[in-house]
């Protein structure tokens, strides 16, 4: 194995697992992004379909760290269901196929209670799988979860990555995350109104992954949602202004809504001169 190949393996990659919204679009799984570094996958959010999307990424791109039984760590931006419906999937699916270590989860206040309630809801499953006849009898700890409720600042560090959480502005306590490795820096917004913290965290970062809606699409929504979005989401106009200040080398749109992808593309191109792409499920950057 050449040194170049080893370096390539160690380099940070971003895998877009789901670009979707609460809409049950079969082409777009629920919001989830994986940062892969040092042969480990660090997930941000657990939208519906997350484990199967990770398995698809493992198969399509040959990323062993994304194999379902190796998923062991996730950072949650906020507790809205479209970002957490896949959380029980992350707890139980990897365990039933072999994960032997607890799942490590980081996120806002309320995460511990959600975790306890999910484990309680699946009590019959856990008891059956770990009884004398159970297939998971020898590794019950694979269904354990260490839930960490966080504050802004460095929330996680290991030999591969440093993860910094920053407060965002959404309808509930919410965070964005910055991932740093020696070679790259990645910032993920989660759901938020534009905030200065995203600009400060990015500051010429390599990749900024940000949610966005187009004004034309918003105009088709009920008035209540338009008011909600004005306070808690980000329009193309606002994102163009934010990214112009944040100056990411690449801006990736995710958790987006427009009249169509073409409308979103043209609307963003008209407002933003930097390099950007509309993320698609299973893209790798
Ligand atoms: Zn939300
Ligand atoms: Zn959302």
CA 256 – ligand 2 centroid, Å: 9
Mean pLDDT of 173-181: 97
pLDDT digits (tens, 9 = 90+) for 225-280: 999 999 999 999 999 999 999 999 999 999 999 999 999 999 999 999 999 999 99
Q: Is 82 in the active site? A: yes
CA 174 – ligand 2 centroid, Å: 11
Q: State the DSSP string of 229-266.
A: HHHHS-BHHHHHHHHHHH--SEEEEEEEE-SSHHHHHH
Q: Report the alpha-carbon distance of residue 76 to residue 32 in Å, rounded.
A: 9
At residue 7, the pLDDT reads 47
Judged against a pLDDT cut of 90, whether residue 111 lies above it is answered with: yes
Kindly identify the ligand whose nearest atom is closest to the C-alpha of 213. Answer: 2
CA 80 – ligand 2 centroid, Å: 6
Judged against a pLDDT cut of 60, whether residue 3 lies above it is answered with: no
Judged against a pLDDT cut of 50, whether residue 4 lies above it is answered with: no
Is residue 235 within 8 A of residue 215, CB to CB? The reply is yes
At residue 10, the pLDDT reads 57
Q: Report the alpha-carbon distance of residue 66 to residue 265 in Å, rounded.
A: 30
**Catalytic: which of 25, 45, 69, 82?**
82
SS3 61: helix
CA 172 – ligand 1 centroid, Å: 8
CA 112 – ligand 2 centroid, Å: 20
- Protein residues with C-beta less than 5 angstroms from the ion ligand 1: 80, 191
And the tokens for 199? 């600009």
And the tokens for 272? 């933003």
- Given CA atoms 254, 272, 219, 196 in this order, what sign does their dihedral have? positive
pLDDT digits (tens, 9 = 90+) for 137-174: 999 999 999 999 999 999 999 999 999 999 999 999 99
Judged against a pLDDT cut of 70, whether residue 34 lies above it is answered with: yes
Kindly identify the ligand whose nearest atom is closest to the C-alpha of 170. Answer: 1
Judged against a pLDDT cut of 90, whether residue 121 lies above it is answered with: yes
CA 170 – ligand 1 centroid, Å: 7
Cβ burial, residue 110 (10 Å; 0-12/13-18/19+): middle
Note the Cα 60 to chain centre separation in Å: 19
Of residues 5 and 186, more confidence is placed in: 186
Judged against a pLDDT cut of 50, whether residue 2 lies above it is answered with: no
At residue 11, the pLDDT reads 80
pTM of the model: 0.95
Beta strand pairing call for 185-188 and 207-213: parallel
pLDDT digits (tens, 9 = 90+) for 48-100: 999 999 999 999 999 999 999 999 999 999 999 999 999 999 999 999 999 99
Among 25, 46, 56, 29, CA closest to 92: 46
Q: Report the alpha-carbon distance of residue 258 to residue 235 in Å, rounded.
A: 10
Mean pLDDT of 183-208: 97
Kindly identify the ligand whose nearest atom is closest to the C-alpha of 171. Answer: 1
Judged against a pLDDT cut of 50, whether residue 1 lies above it is answered with: no
């Amino acid at each position: 194995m050449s040194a170049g190949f080893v370096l390539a393996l160690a380099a940070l990659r971003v895998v877009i697992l789901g670009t979707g919204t609460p809409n049950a679009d079969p082409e777009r799984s629920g919001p989830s992004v994986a940062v892969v570094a040092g042969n480990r996958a660090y997930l941000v959010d657990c939208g519906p379909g997350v484990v199967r999307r990770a398995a698809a990424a493992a198969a399509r791109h040959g990323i062993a760290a994304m194999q379902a039984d190796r998923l062991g760590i996730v950072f949650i931006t906020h507790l809205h269901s479209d970002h957490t419906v896949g959380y029980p999937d992350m707890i139980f699916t990897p365990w039933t196929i072999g994960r032997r270590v607890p799942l490590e989860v980081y996120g806002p206040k309320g995460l511990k209670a959600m975790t306890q309630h999910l484990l309680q809801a699946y009590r019959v499953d856990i008891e059956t799988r770990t009884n004398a006849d159970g297939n998971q009898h020898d590794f019950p700890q694979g269904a354990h979860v260490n839930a960490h409720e966080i504050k802004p600042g460095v929330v996680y560090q290991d030999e591969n990555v440093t993860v910094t959480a920053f407060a965002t502005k959404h309808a509930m306590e919410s965070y964005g995350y910055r991932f740093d490795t020696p070679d790259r820096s990645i910032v993920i917004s989660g759901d938020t109104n534009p905030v200065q913290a995203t600009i400060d965290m990015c500051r010429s970062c390599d990749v900024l992954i940000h949610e966005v809606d187009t004004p034309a699409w918003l105009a088709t929504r009920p008035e209540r949602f338009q008011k909600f979005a004005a306070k808690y989401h980000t329009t193309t106009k606002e994102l163009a202004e934010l990214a112009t200040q944040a100056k990411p080398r690449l801006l990736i749109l995710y958790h987006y809504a427009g009249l169509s992808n073409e409308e979103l593309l043209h609307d963003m191109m008209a407002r933003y001169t930097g390099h950007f792409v509309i993320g698609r499920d299973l893209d790798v950057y």
